[in-house]
Structure 1
Amino acid sequence: MKEYFIALLLSALPAVGSIIGGWLAEPIPPSNRNLSLALHLAAGIALAVIGVELMPQILDADPPWIVILSFVLGGGFFVLTRQLIHWGQRLSSPKSQGEATPLLIYFGVAVDIFSDGLMVGTGTTISFGLGLLLALGQVMANIPGGLVTLATFKSQRVKKRYRQWISASFCIPAFLGTTIGYWTVRGQPDIVKYSLLAFTAGILITVVVENMVPEAAEKEKETYLETLMFIGGFALFNLLSVYFG
């Protein structure tokens, strides 16, 4: 049980990133420029998590085709989830012209945090260092999601007290994902653990390519500063990997 509680503690870190983003939405009006910079930073970190830490370990699994298939299924799962969100959006607000409602934005971020918890819980069963690295990498990567979510609720004149409860509730999907990830693969062969990691990696890379980067491009015309933020995010996780791995 001690290892499980450690996994829960680590899984709180990605949720903290979203909570910090929610706090930033209170005193600072989120401009398109600032949000674009944050999204580029988050995209760099997320790609480093996949390319530097996850994929080298995942591809060592035997047989490798199973984890590669799991990676593809993870991407497909995210695409299906996004389509369901868009379907719910059209039903709830057919005249919104593509603008997501606050609850749907919250749901999308919650799904992302759930996958983070799944990844951290699974990684912790392999090694504490891997779980710690995955958790640290998602702290900064989740700030933009929390920022957008709480800024949207703020624009809808939701009371500050309720916004604080909404921000704190990001811990719930993180803990749920960690619990499922940890107890599903605990004591299982390595191929099962690596397959679940590959599944979450597929979700994460699809989030970057289909959500973060296009949204950042829509927010603000890209300049050298956005590019530097992207590279900086990638480098930041590499530093974490070197000193904490």
Structure 2
Amino acid sequence: MNELLVIFLYSLLPVLGTFAGGLTAEFFQISKKNLSLALHAATGIILAVISVELIPRSLNATTPWIVILAFVAGGVFFVILDQLINYMQVKSGDLSQSTAAWAIFVGTTIDSFTDGLMIGTGALVSINLGLLLAVGVVSADLPEGFATVAALKDKEIERKTRILLLISASVPVLIGAAAGYLLVKGQSPIVEYSILAFTAGILLTVTVEEIIPESHKHGEARLAALVLISAFALFTLISNYLPT
């Protein structure tokens, strides 16, 4: 099978994850406790993706300082993006519901694109690595899809618009995957390693600044901690038994 087609198929996993999370918010009531547990599971898997796959592989570069700089750049990129989104959301209090919807849409879209970028670039290192990364980000996309639709419902955006925004924000993962594969293919390995480190920086920052605080809003502690460490261990187990 064509390698790019395989990468597109891998990228559909995060799309389905985001959409499934959104549909859950549309049709089912999820308790705050269960949402907290889901976010802790997502945190465990994302941390495993970063520490077990992305960083160790990135540091195979012959010039590791470039990779470390790319990692920092990923974190800085997310901080700047987050500030812009927060600014738009603050303004939405004085403007229209469409502005609030736009802010939510932009955040989910950028996250979707970087997921695809990571999958496409990772697949260049190893096709199985691309699959592992796709599986890893699905865990975060499920609660993200849920949170996105829940936020849109809170802003009283009509259902048809919510669904269209969710679909539109999910699709950029395919664009990111194609960019990660086509633009990096044939380049020096340092380019591949730098992009992996860049996405690792984004993932770590969004986990610490967004997912973890949200997961602790509802008082989950001991059980949530066990879920987090179990999710980390599960991804690590899969990573070790799926050769990459």
- TM-score with structure 2 setting the length: 0.92
CA distance in 2, matches of 1:42, 1:74: 19
CA distance in 1, matches of 2:105, 2:228: 24
Matched AA of 2:189: D
Residue in structure 2 matched with residue 108 of structure 1 by the alignment: 107
CA distance in 2, matches of 1:24, 1:175: 23
Matched AA of 1:238: T
CA contact (8 A) 2:18 2:170 kept: no
CA distance in 2, matches of 1:186, 1:224: 45
CA distance in 1, matches of 2:90, 2:221: 34
| Unmatched tracts of structure 1, length 5 or more | none
CA contact (8 A) 1:22 1:147 kept: yes
CA contact (8 A) 2:122 2:133 kept: yes
* 1:94 CA drift (Å): 4.3
Does residue 232 of structure 1 match 2:230?
yes
Residue in structure 2 matched with residue 141 of structure 1 by the alignment: 140
CA contact (8 A) 1:121 1:179 kept: yes
* 1:213 CA drift (Å): 0.5
Residue in structure 1 matched with residue 220 of structure 2 by the alignment: 222
CA distance in 2, matches of 1:224, 1:149: 27
Matched AA of 1:115: T
CA distance in 2, matches of 1:162, 1:30: 22
Deviation per CA, 1:51-97: give whole Å up to 9, x if none: 0111111111111000000000000000000011111122222499x
Matched AA of 2:57: Q
Residue in structure 1 matched with residue 86 of structure 2 by the alignment: 86
CA contact (8 A) 2:100 2:155 kept: no
Residue in structure 1 matched with residue 117 of structure 2 by the alignment: 118
Report sequence identity in percent: 48
CA distance in 2, matches of 1:151, 1:30: 10
Residue in structure 2 matched with residue 162 of structure 1 by the alignment: 161
CA distance in 1, matches of 2:159, 2:91: 28
Does residue 72 of structure 1 match 2:72?
yes
The list of structure 1 runs, each at least 4 consecutive aligned residues, that deviate by more than 6 angstroms after superposition, is none
* 1:106 CA drift (Å): 2.8
Residue in structure 2 matched with residue 26 of structure 1 by the alignment: 26
Deviates more, 1:6-15 or 1:68-77: 6-15
Matched AA of 1:48: A
Secondary structure of the structure 2 residue equivalent to 1:22? helix
| Unmatched tracts of structure 2, length 5 or more | none
CA distance in 2, matches of 1:42, 1:125: 25
Secondary structure of the structure 2 residue equivalent to 1:222? coil
* 1:19 CA drift (Å): 1.0
Residue in structure 1 matched with residue 35 of structure 2 by the alignment: 35
Aligned residues: 241
Measured at CA, do residues 101 and 225 of structure 1 come closer, stay the same or move farther in structure 2, by a change above 3 Å? farther
Secondary structure of the structure 2 residue equivalent to 1:60? coil
Measured at CA, do residues 169 and 243 of structure 1 come closer, stay the same or move farther in structure 2, by a change above 3 Å? farther
CA contact (8 A) 2:109 2:170 kept: no
Deviates more, 1:82-91 or 1:189-198: 82-91
CA contact (8 A) 1:11 1:135 kept: yes
CA contact (8 A) 1:30 1:151 kept: no
Residue in structure 2 matched with residue 195 of structure 1 by the alignment: 194
Deviation per CA, 1:102-126: give whole Å up to 9, x if none: 4322321221111110000101111
Matched AA of 2:72: V
